[in-house]
Chain A
Amino acid sequence: MFEKALKGSRKYWLWLGFLGTLILIGFLAFLAQLQYGLGITGMSRDVSWGFYVAQFTFLVGVAASGVMVVLPYYLHNHKVFGPLTIFGEFLAIAAVIMCLLFIIVDIGQTPRLFNVLLHPTPNSMLFYDMIVLNGYLALNVICGWAALHGEYKGTKYPNWVKPFIYLSIPWAFSIHTVTAFLYAGLPGRHFWLTAVMAPRFLASAFCSGPALLLLALLIVKKVSKFDPGQKAIDTLSKIITYALLANIFLFACELFTAFYSNIPGHMYPIIYLFKGLHGHNEWVIFMWTAWLFMLIAAILLVIPHTRKNINTLAFACVILFIGAWIDKGIGLLTGGFTPTPFETITPYRPTIPELLISIGIWATGFLIMTVLFKIAITVKEARA
């Protein structure tokens, strides 16, 4: 079915060419990083994880969110999601590959990456992260491809796929839980040491991921003959709404615990992010943007009138996605590292090569997503 990706309009090829250019630039920057070391990034002794790990964390959420269309269809027989599951699975494939790429570029000794397999260490959360991410990738490749192939042949997906589909549902929750556990079990990082980390990760994932999927489907609807259907869009937007509200609620819980308890260690990272601390306010504007965006999106999504209007819905999805991306990507990371264990502040600012590498990886993800979606749409158009 891959040949379906080789026939497209001028716009399709221009888009792929644009992504290819970004990938090439990012790859060159990565080669420079291999030569020079991670010193080309803005990370430091005090803020030892940065943009790469932030993107990784956010994208695990996007990957997990594919389950939000798979679950209603397979467990609740919600028929309108039938045609969409493939898109959820393909989105997950692209997102997991981006996750893996972000890990690869974040490792200081890239050639030794496979030491994780040579010396498996079950007490490390990264060990489980490796298992669940690669497993999730495999599951989505199997399920997505089998379902699409069934559609191509005009049959239902084969029966042997069913166990994999059911397995992929809890598996999706596991990938983001394990990713939250990377952070939530570290002593002395107050911002991360919270039991609602995993639930909040899931909540923010299940709003931002489907928001991206919804936007992608709206584009698909515009550029192709495939129509996801108004009912499916409605349900998806309701899922986004509930997840976003859960995310806001869980963040409010964090605020309460930190400020009512009045424990400095718990308050400082939040104060640093939203107000600035010791004269440092690098991320204040970003954090307020993030939460204003999410709150506006929440209002637009809660009001039925604006949720059902395709323009306001798309707008809400865009700002929601940006908000969640800032909050969970960069906010989560810098908040965990600031203040430092010495209660001092070392500002972190990503560098240009660091951003170019990140953009290159995002472009890779979008390229994979475009190609997979193109295949799926062409198959669906042929059936229609």
Chain B
Amino acid sequence: MKRRKFLKLAGISAAVAGGVPSFLLREVKARSYTPPPGALTARRWGMAIDMKKCWEHPECNDCIKACHAAHNVPEIPEKKKEIKWIWKDEFEHVFPEQPNEFNNIVFEHKPFILLCNHCKHPPCVRVCPTKATFKREDGIVMMDFHRCIGCRFCMAACPFGARSFNWVDPRPYIQEFNPEFPTRMKGVVEKCLFCYERLEKGQLPACVEACKHKALIFGDLEDENSEISRILKERFSIRRKAELGTEPSIFYLIG
């Protein structure tokens, strides 16, 4: 299986190299591009968040800290202009269409972990006028920060409030930075990217790795044998605003 995949990718990369402009071919014979060996791959990445485990440790913010440190997410003091990739909010805000005036014990004001849903049919991708945000074959809704013009159409289109905009230069608000990852510049939109840069190196997303309570389960939704697929079959889970048909890839295990 792995071998076959490798051969497939080698073929693709040969095709890509074939499309290289002629100026690059002058001194080239073997020039080619390939995906990194040892990368984690999937047909559709997804995440299940075990809220029951999460609620046992209300003071824990390890996933948020790990993510924001790994990706140089600034701490903007003015809340209206803040930037966040993964954060917490209460049940009533996360699932505003699920009001239940009699269920005031189980979920009331309970915090939920929020991040980009990496929807199967992402409205943000649909509206982007430059393909700066696009969906990868493995389901990750990706950002090409080089290309974003900052029109913020994606922010209007996202029903989950997953996207943040750099209203100012974010750098003065980054205390300690990760030299392996870039920052962003003013005027572009950003959000969770499912740690594509870690998957490439064969590592799990930073939030998943940081959770010592194993509440974040990351895996291939289309692989029947993956841990996430098994858990989703066994336990009751909900997705945010499923009625909008975007088909989020983030599942909240609440039963």
Assess the B187–A188 pair: CB atoms within 8 A.
Answer: no
Assess whether A123 is interfacial by the CB under 8 Å rule. yes
Is A187 touching B245 in the complex (CB atoms < 8 A)?
Answer: yes
Tell whether B94 is near chain A: CB-to-CB under 8 Å: yes
CA distance A121 to B164 in the complex (A): 22
Partner of B127, one of A106, A126, A264: A126
A108, B187: Cβ atoms closer than 8 Å: yes
**CB < 8 Å neighbour of A126 from B94, B151, B166, B188:** B151
Expressed in whole angstroms, the minimum distance between the Cβ of B173 and any Cβ of chain A is: 11
Interface size range of chain B in the complex:
35 or more
- Residues of chain B with a CB closer than 8 A to A41's CB: 167
In the complex, the chain B residue whose C-beta lies closest to that of A268 is B96
Point out the residue from A48, A110, A186, A265 that lies within 8 Å of B152, measured CB to CB: A48
**Distance of A341 Cα from B246 Cα, bound (Å):** 14
Could you mark each residue 116-134 of chain A with 1 if its beta carbon is under 8 Å from any beta carbon of chain B, else 0?
Answer: 1011010111110010000
In the complex, A45 Cα to B85 Cα: how many Å?
Answer: 12
A10 at interface, CB cutoff 8 A = no
Instruction: Type the 1/0 row for A147-163, where 1 means its CB is closer than 8 Å to any CB of B.
Output: 00000000000000000
B187 and A187 form a contact (CB under 8 A): no
Instruction: Find out whether the CB atom of A36 lies under 8 angstroms from the CB atom of B168.
Output: yes
- Assess whether B147 is interfacial by the CB under 8 Å rule: yes
A184 to chain B, nearest CB (A): 12
* Chain B contacts for A39, CB-based, 8 A: 81, 167-168, 186
Q: Are B80 and A44 in contact (CB under 8 A)?
A: yes
The 0/1 profile, CB within 8 Å of A marked 1, for residues 150-193 of chain B is 11110111111100111111000000000000000111110000
Check A2 for interface membership: any CB of B closer than 8 A. Answer: no
The smallest C-beta distance from A120 to any residue of chain B, in angstroms, reads 8
- Given the known inter-chain contacts A37-B167, A44-B80, please indicate yes or no for A108 contacting B152, CB distance below 8 A: yes
**Min distance, Cβ B69 to any Cβ of chain A, angstroms:** 20
Contacts of B129 in A (CB 8 A): 115-116, 121, 124, 126-127, 130
8 A Cβ contacts from A91-111 to B: 106-110
Q: How far is the CA of A115 from the CA of B148 in the complex (A)?
A: 8
Task: Place the interface of chain A in its size category.
Answer: 35 or more
Residues of A within 8 A of B189 (CB): 108
| A340 interface residue per 8 A CB criterion | yes
Cβ-defined contact, A45 with B80, below 8 A? yes
Interface pair A112/B82, CB less than 8 Å apart: no
In the bound complex, do residue A38 and residue B161 qualify as a contact, i.e. CB atoms below 8 Å apart?
A: no
Residues of B within 8 A of A44 (CB): 80-81, 167
**Are B159 and A115 in touch, CB under 8 angstroms?**
no
CA distance A112 to B127 in the complex (A): 17
Are A342 and B94 within 8 A (Cβ)? yes
Least CB distance, B75 to chain A, in whole angstroms? 14
Interface of B is mostly: loop
Q: Whole-angstrom distance between the alpha carbons of A48 and B168 in the complex?
A: 14
Whether, in the assembled complex, B123 has its beta carbon less than 8 Å from a beta carbon of chain A, the answer is yes
Asked if B156 and A342 sit within 8 Å, CB to CB, the answer is no
Contact between A106 and B151, CB atoms less than 8 A apart = yes
A365 at the interface (CB under 8 A from B): no
Roughly how many angstroms separate A223 CA and B157 CA in the complex, as a whole number? 48
Instruction: Encode A335-350 as 1/0 by CB contact (under 8 A) with B.
Output: 0110011111010000
Question: Is the C-beta of B41 less than 8 angstroms from some C-beta in chain A?
Answer: no
Interchain CB contact under 8 A, B186 and A342: no
* Bound: A44/B168 CA distance, A: 11
Residue A282 is within 8 A (CB to CB) of chain B in the complex: no
Q: List, in ascending order, chain A residues with CB within 8 A of B152's CB.
A: 48-49, 108
A119 touches which of B131, B155, B164 (Cβ 8 Å): B131
Is there a chain A Cβ closer than 8 Å to B92's Cβ? yes
CB-defined contacts of A197 to chain B, threshold 8 Å: none
Known A-B contacts A107-B151, A187-B246, A343-B93; the reply to A121 vs B130 at CB < 8 A is: yes
Chain B residues with CB under 8 A of A143: none
Q: Within 8 Å of chain A (Cβ to Cβ): is B244?
A: yes
Which partner residue on chain A sits nearest B144 by CB separation?
Answer: A119
Inter-chain contact A123/B126, CB cutoff 8 Å: yes
A273 to chain B, nearest CB (A): 17
Contacts of A106 in B (CB 8 A): 151
The list of the 5 closest CB pairs from A to B, nearest first, reads A108-B150, A188-B159, A108-B187, A44-B80, A37-B186
Q: List 19 A-B contacts (CB under 8 A).
A: A36-B168, A37-B186, A48-B165, A107-B151, A107-B187, A108-B149, A108-B166, A108-B188, A115-B130, A125-B127, A126-B151, A186-B127, A187-B159, A188-B160, A265-B97, A341-B96, A342-B96, A342-B161, A344-B93
- Residues on B facing A (Cβ under 8 Å): 80-83, 89, 92-94, 96-97, 99, 123, 126-132, 147-153, 155-161, 164-169, 185-189, 241, 244-246
Given contacts A121-B131, A126-B129, A187-B159, 16 further A-B contacts (CB under 8 A): A43-B167, A107-B150, A108-B152, A108-B166, A109-B187, A112-B149, A115-B132, A119-B147, A121-B130, A124-B128, A189-B159, A337-B156, A340-B161, A341-B96, A342-B93, A343-B96
